[in-house]
Amino acid sequence: MSIEVLKPGLLVTVQDLGRTGYGKYGLGRSGAMDGFAHRVANWLVGNAESEAALEVTWSGFSVRFRQSMLVSITGADLSPESGGTPVPMWRPVWFRQGSELAFKRPVSGCRAYVAVAGGVDSPQVLGSRSTHLRAGIGGLNGRALQAGDVLHNKDSGRFGSPAASSRDFAEHVFFRAARWSAAPRPGYIRGNQAVRVTRGRQYDDFRAADLRRFFEDSYRVKPESDRMGYRLSGPRLELRTPREYLSEGVADGTVQVPADGQPIILMADRQTLGGYPKIAQVVSADLPKVAQLSPGDAIRFREVSLDEAEQLYLARERGLRRLKTMIDVRLEGMFGC
Amino acid sequence: MGNMVIEPLGETALLIQFGEKIDEGVNRQVQAAVSLLEASPFPGFVECIPSFAAVAVYYDPFRLDRSPGEGTAFEHVRSLVQNRLKQIGVHAERKRDVIDIPVCYGGEHGPDLAYVAELNGLDEAEVVSIHSGRDYLVYALGFAPGFPYLGGMPASISAPRKGTPRLSIPAGSVGIAGTQTGIYPLDTPGGWQIIGRTPLALFRPGQDPPVLLNSGQYIRFRPIGVSEYDRLAGERG
């Protein structure tokens, strides 16, 4: 089964959970920026969470389904439409053969995920299908999707070919959506987010007054933010005593501060090592919030202890497993298997 | 274990710091720590990444094998790491592994060689002879896939970064920035003074491991002429 790209949009890439084990060679993880939305999208079409899906940034992307296909759209609300009708998100949707899906304009959030039953097929490069734009590997030849690209799913997925159900499509009906949804209107996707952080390794090296402002004031997301990092503008952060640090390992969500005093949150396509002082570390549970911020959005930081951050991580994973169980029950009800 | 310091890097990683300066002895401990950790991965271990004087250890707190009330995930992983690194001082010194890096210096492949020479009051041949006259330790790979952080370039051929970075530097270019020297693994913009180019590919995504060099190895630059460069580049295809 195949999908034809009609319009490439701003930036659409193939992403899975990312590439681990190659950091020591200088190759970072990549993978979905909003890992929550990516995993849920896969579960909604009966896939393992490790399958590849499309990460759609902002607007302008459209595709045609050459065969009928089971699809889900999660993450940012980028006004998905088919034949002029809004397509509901966070649920399984059957698209009829020949129907189109277009992302019209961003309503809330920055990145949407499109999963197809069976998973998007592309060659595995070093254990992952994730596109790493800078290294030029993964996904479709290591690049963003272009008009005319044709994507395939690996197989028709757990529930077999949905072609049989296309007989149910009335004329001028392009898709059928399940009545239930996994996560209606998720609260994490909106502007002006408070993002929880633990203290970074060099937290104590910053001036006390600057640390207060880091937490009390808000920052704005700069336009040059991308999959490598979110560049922020706001109160300038300075070291008590200027000094150089040896480059060392960084992590997703590391907040580092270059000499201009404006913080950068490192994201999926980040470098593996960093030499700037680290003021803070975004907790994993809040990385999807950051990934959904658009240029111009405000962001505030709130400190939590390492213990709280660990509890948030464990609670998030337990919550996701409950959500997956609920989705599986619903899917089994629909497909009778 | 000397002055090994272990600190959290958020709730999914920790950093083991062996020192605060660029030092071959410290880096040997770093490389030994990576070997020991990879030899006996604990449940929840994701990967570890060495740098000049530290190792970052990444883990999944949800997959750790620990009982409730045992303390934090960080404390749990710290103790696993400490146990594995107990033997770090006693391992035998590794054989010195030197990788030959052919470099075509100057000309179209090294447009800044003349500048570096002039700046240091040398002629081009002297810069080449100094640059290729010693071994460099690959302290770590980072910045870009396969990029070696090299130590030990003589200060007599140092040069500041360019005021305006070039928009594109071809992969394989050998550059100088301050007292650092390095090799660009990918075509990228960059501000280093480019003195030569190697026909070898540093990043090899079709192979596993996907890199020519590994941290802990030494490299030696070997001057080659344009014809040998072309021949080696041709073999690569």
Q: Is the pLDDT of residue B64 over 80?
A: yes
pLDDT digits over B9-57, tens only? Answer: 999 999 999 999 899 999 999 999 999 999 999 999 999 999 999 999 9
* pLDDT level of residue A165 (50, 70, 90 thresholds): low
Residue type, B116: V
> Could you give the angle at the alpha carbon of A118 between the alpha carbons of A117 and A121, nearest 5°?
120
Residue A2 has what pLDDT? 93
- Nearest by CB to residue A24, choosing from B34, B144, B149, is B34
**Is it true that the peptide bond before B209 is cis, omega within 30 degrees of 0?**
yes
Kindly write down the DSSP assignment for every residue of A118-160, as one continuous string: T-EE---BTTB---BTTTTBSTBTTB---TT-EEEESSS-TT-
For residue A154, count CB atoms less than 10 angstroms from its CB and return exposed for 0-12, middle for 13-18, buried for 19 or more: middle
Q: Which of B9, B147, B150 best tests the A interface by mutation, with the highest count of A CBs <10 A? A: B9
Cβ–Cβ below 8 Å for A201 and B205: no
Residues B56 and B102 grouped into a single domain: no
Boundary of a domain, candidates B23, B49, B84: B84
Residues B69 and B142 grouped into a single domain: no
Q: Which two tokens stand for residue B33?
A: 């720590």
* Domain annotation covers residue B130: yes
The domain spanning residue B162 has which CATH number?
2.40.100.10
Residue type, B125: A
Residues 64-123 of chain B with CB under 8 A from chain A are: 72-74
Cα distance between residue A134 and residue A40, in whole Å: 27
Judging contacts by C-beta atoms under 8 Å, the chain A residues touching residue B58 are: 20, 23, 251
* Domain annotation covers residue B91: no
pLDDT digits over A169-207, tens only? Answer: 777 789 999 999 997 667 787 766 799 999 999 999 999
* Domain annotation covers residue B150: yes
The domain spanning residue B40 has which CATH number?
3.30.1360.40
| Single pTM value for the model | 0.94
Cβ–Cβ below 8 Å for B144 and A314: no
Q: How many CB atoms lie within 10 A of CB A141?
A: 12
pLDDT digits over A5-31, tens only? Answer: 999 999 999 999 999 999 999 999 999
Boundary of a domain, candidates B39, B55, B84: B84
Residue A335 has what pLDDT? 81
All structural domains of chain A with their residue ranges? 2-187+319-335, 193-304
Residues B144 and B183 grouped into a single domain: yes
Percent helix, percent strand, percent coil in chain B, to nearest 5: 25, 30, 45
CA–CA min distance B167, chain A (Å): 14
Q: How many domains does chain B have?
A: 2
ipTM: 0.95
Nearest to B15 by CA among A282, A305, A273: A273
* Minimum Cα–Cα distance from B73: chain A residue: A310
How far, CA to CA in Å, does B175 sit from each of A27, A143, B110, B195?
21, 27, 8, 6
What does DSSP assign to residue B11? B
Asked if B56 and B63 count as a contact pair (C-beta separation under 8 A), the reply is: no
Q: Is the pLDDT of residue A168 over 90?
A: no
Asked if A34 and A24 count as a contact pair (C-beta separation under 8 A), the reply is: no
Element (H, E) at A208: helix A208-216
| Residue B134 domain boundaries | 98-236
CA–CA min distance B124, chain A (Å): 31
Asked if A205 and A240 count as a contact pair (C-beta separation under 8 A), the reply is: yes
Q: How many CB atoms lie within 10 A of CB B158?
A: 17
Element (H, E) at B222: strand B218-223
Residue A155 has what pLDDT? 84
What does DSSP assign to residue A315? H
Mean pLDDT, all residues of chain A? 93
CA–CA min distance A228, chain B (Å): 12
CA–CA min distance B214, chain A (Å): 7
Q: What are phi and psi of A326, to 5 degrees?
A: -65, -40
* Domain annotation covers residue B92: no
Residues B29 and B116 grouped into a single domain: no
Mean pLDDT, all residues of chain B? 93
Nearest to B87 by CA among B132, B36, B48: B36
Cβ–Cβ below 8 Å for A24 and B149: no
For A193-304, which CATH class? mainly beta
- Nearest by CB to residue A24, choosing from B11, B50, B205, is B50
Residue in this structure with the two tokens 């980072």, named with its chain if needed: B142
Judging contacts by C-beta atoms under 8 Å, the chain A residues touching residue B178 are: none
Residues B180 and B118 grouped into a single domain: yes
The share of chain B scoring above pLDDT 90, in percent, equals 81
pLDDT digits over B135-162, tens only? Answer: 999 999 998 999 999 988 999 999 998 8
Boundary of a domain, candidates B24, B50, B84: B84
Strand, coil or helix: A91:
coil
CA–CA min distance A267, chain B (Å): 14
Q: Which of A17, A30, A245, A248 best tests the B interface by mutation, with the highest count of B CBs <10 A? A: A248
Residues B126 and B232 grouped into a single domain: yes
pLDDT digits over B65-113, tens only? Answer: 998 778 899 999 999 999 999 988 765 566 789 999 999 999 999 999 9
* Domain annotation covers residue B89: no
